[in-house]
Structures are given as C-alpha cells and as structure tokens.
Amino acid sequence: MDTGKFKFTMKELEVHWAKIAPLLSIRNEREYNAAVKRLNELLDEIRDNERHPLYGLLDTLGTLIEIYEEEHYPIPSV
C-alpha cells in the first residue's frame, strides 16, 4: 500500500494497527480514563509544539475523547 512517503504491505499495516488501535479505542469508562491519562501525558510532553512527532496522536486522541464526552457526559442546555 502506497501512503505517499511510506509503503506498507497489508501484513505490516496489520502489525502496526494491532499496536496502535488500543490507543485510539474508547468504548467504556475504563478506556476513557486511560485515554484521558494518556492525553495528559502527551500534553505534558508535547505542550503546544505542532511539529512534535506525536502531535497528530495528541490531536486525534483529544478529538476521540471529546466525542466520547459529548455522548456520555452531555452538557444540559439552560
């Protein structure tokens, strides 16, 4: 598979995805708490450095947490 600057076989993608998928999975409270902890650790390391190699992970994880919170902790309208 050609992803622009990287070329991966499907098998290689499977191996990498198996390692990355748990970081991007928020299906319950336990995974939510782990994701929030991970996000805080990333924020401590990356701060606001958009050039940091893990900035994309921080951004993606933040988005996934936001979606989970909107679904499970909705803010009541006034």
Dump pLDDT digits (tens) for 11-56: 998 998 999 999 999 999 999 999 999 999 999 999 999 999 999 9
Query: Where does residue 58 rank: exposed (0-12), middle (13-18), buried (19+ CB within 10 A)?
Result: buried
Q: At what angle do helices 55-72 and 29-46 cross, to 10 degrees?
A: 140
From the CA atom positions of the chain, what is the Rg in Å? 15
Grade residue 7 by pLDDT with cuts at 50, 70 and 90.
confident
Q: CA-CA distance, 17 to 61, in Å (whole number)?
A: 15
pLDDT at residue number 77: 85
